[in-house]
Amino acid sequence: MRRDDRDDPFDDFFTELERMMNDMMSGEFDMHVERREPDAPGRSKDIHFDVYEEDERLRVVADLPGVEKDAIDLKCDGEALTIDATGTQREYHDRVDLPARVDEHSADASYNNGILEVTFETTGNSADIDLS
């Protein structure tokens, strides 16, 4: 385990966990628990989003705290919505696979208090094909 000069309230817990795992393995395996450092500032975070299907519409609601409206870039190809956003503390990059095909040109988006909402009209599931 990597140690540093700071007092960490979990040091004793991890030391005891290492000891118990090593005892349990009868010395055949030397276990070391290594804690990961928190993500560096500015590193990409996953976006929390919900997708709702309502009649002939599809709505995507995403949490983008700490981002200005002008720093959000949205793209849609009819099957997925791509969200790129940059704030002072973090960046977001995510692709939302949509559960139904949408008309990307019907998109209507709003952003208020860190909540992005994008609404689309859904298109028909498939086209009829004439067999000649």
For 63-95, write each residue's pLDDT tens digit. Answer: 998 899 999 999 999 999 999 999 888 888 999
Q: What is the pLDDT of residues 22-41, one digit of tens each?
A: 777 665 555 454 544 444 44
Q: If we measure between CA atoms, which residue out of 79, 77, 78, 63 comes closest to residue 111?
A: 63
Beta-ladder partners of 59: 52, 119
Going from N- to C-terminal start, the domains of the chain cover 10-39, 44-122
At residue 126, the pLDDT reads 56
Matching CATH number, 44-122, of 3.90.580.10, 1.10.1740.10, 1.10.10.410, 2.60.40.790? 2.60.40.790
Provide, rounded to the nearest whole percent, the portion of the chain with pLDDT above 90: 38
Q: What is the pLDDT of residue 89?
A: 82
Backbone φ and ψ for 16, nearest 5 degrees, come out as: -65, -40
Please determine, for residue 55, whether its predicted confidence score (pLDDT) is greater than 90: no
Question: How many whole angstroms separate alpha carbon 95 and alpha carbon 75?
Answer: 9
Name, in order, each residue with C-beta under 8 angstroms of 88's C-beta and a sequence gap of 6 or more.
66
| 18: phi then psi, degrees, rounded to nearest 5 | -60, -45
